[in-house]
Structure 1
């Protein structure tokens, strides 16, 4: 009985023993033309055994790279892509550059900084004022989520001023409740409440008629 420990090492176990044996057989063929033809057949077989790879970009290139890895970089065939090397495989990926947020304000996130830059670019007017107030409201939400405590509006205004390098300033209002956005939301809320009251008032006469009909029916009895 032959154990797996006695067999050759699988360089990419996800492809299994069969494909590894086919690659070893391909390496033994005498001519480059024969090896290239068999390599193409192996690539097609690898794609059939791993259909999920077809959803990836340049999956054919990846399959050829895997073929050379399976062959331990000892396969001499015609390839439509450059041959990978052992050094390339061993090379460590470059360190990702994370966005640098200012000082102690990391909890506000990258999107807040982008909105601040957008607000700075806008010309003075209602649109700019509305965007600044939206930024301040979102900053307050982020602060409360991160710190789990109540924050006063003057703290948010100070942070906004510092993040924008003194180019955005809301210190002229006492609180966010006195901003245009607050009044707009409240007016919409009041309108909705008034509409619901009007609807109830319209329904009341119908309810009275229904109750009166029931009372008349009882009196007849």
Structure 2
């Protein structure tokens, strides 16, 4: 008695390999059934099996919808059944996604981080007045803190104002302003006290253990 062995190299390519060849064969058989009633019954059974094979998808919104979409894809869109959801088209599947824009950030001054650029973008949408000026000054103070995180030495307020002027394309101009930003020593003092608190809390937890 001889047996014909099947090798993967001689088999058809699996459309969704995660479900394995047995599910693919069930889908192919479902497509070949003569009556729609039989196809509907078998399609629902296949959906149940697919759901058991992918339990992690149960927490995904529209869980059943995704399974039916995958069933149509595995049938090469040839399965004629009464699906509870609209059948996806090959055009939708092959459609290229929209390109994602590169995140806008202060690439020249990366030490400020992307949050600063986001804050600046918001400030530029505000109407001129005291509120906008107060927000811009708050941004400048935060920029100084970020700068000192990157460079432990002191920094003149004029440097921060120059950077803010450049990052806003000259729309926020504090050059020559008399009002000073937060003192560098005050920032460093705050960091030191926060560091001591963290160390104290950590030591107290270790003692309790």
Q: What TM-score, normalized to structure 1? A: 0.66
The answer on 1:157 being equivalent to 2:161 is: yes
| Cα distance per residue 1:114-157 (max 9 Å; x no partner) | 2234556462787764443123322x258x48xxx979534332
State the match for 1:135 in structure 2.
143
Cα gap change, 1:123/1:110 in structure 2, threshold over 3 Å: closer, same or farther?
A: same
Between structure 1 and structure 2, the one with the greater Rg is 1
Contact in 1 for aligned 2:27/2:74 (Cα 8 Å): yes
Cα gap change, 1:45/1:168 in structure 2, threshold over 3 Å: closer, same or farther?
A: farther
C-alpha separation between the residues in 2 aligned to 1:106 and 1:187? Answer: 24
State the match for 2:55 in structure 1.
51
Contact in 1 for aligned 2:140/2:161 (Cα 8 Å): no
State the match for 1:34 in structure 2.
38
SS of residue paired to 1:65: helix
State the match for 1:208 in structure 2.
none
Contact in 1 for aligned 2:105/2:113 (Cα 8 Å): yes
State the match for 1:11 in structure 2.
15
State the match for 1:172 in structure 2.
177
Q: Please give the root-mean-square deviation of Cα atoms over the aligned residues, in Å.
A: 3.6
Q: What TM-score, normalized to structure 2? A: 0.69
Cα gap change, 1:170/1:180 in structure 2, threshold over 3 Å: closer, same or farther?
A: farther
SS of residue paired to 1:160: helix
How far is 1:186 from its partner? 6.5
Cα gap change, 1:170/1:190 in structure 2, threshold over 3 Å: closer, same or farther?
A: farther
Could you tell me which of 44, 65, 68 is aligned with 2:69? 65
Contact in 1 for aligned 2:116/2:143 (Cα 8 Å): yes
Give the unaligned 5+ runs of structure 1.
Answer: 193-221
How far is 1:47 from its partner? 0.9
Contact in 2 for aligned 1:130/1:181 (Cα 8 Å): no
State the match for 1:202 in structure 2.
none
| Cα distance per residue 1:70-95 (max 9 Å; x no partner) | 11111000112222222222221111
Could you tell me which of 131, 138, 151 is aligned with 1:123? 131
State the match for 1:74 in structure 2.
78
SS of residue paired to 2:72: helix
Contact in 1 for aligned 2:30/2:42 (Cα 8 Å): yes
C-alpha separation between the residues in 1 aligned to 2:60 and 2:38? Answer: 29
How far is 1:27 from its partner? 1.2
Cα gap change, 1:191/1:94 in structure 2, threshold over 3 Å: closer, same or farther?
A: closer
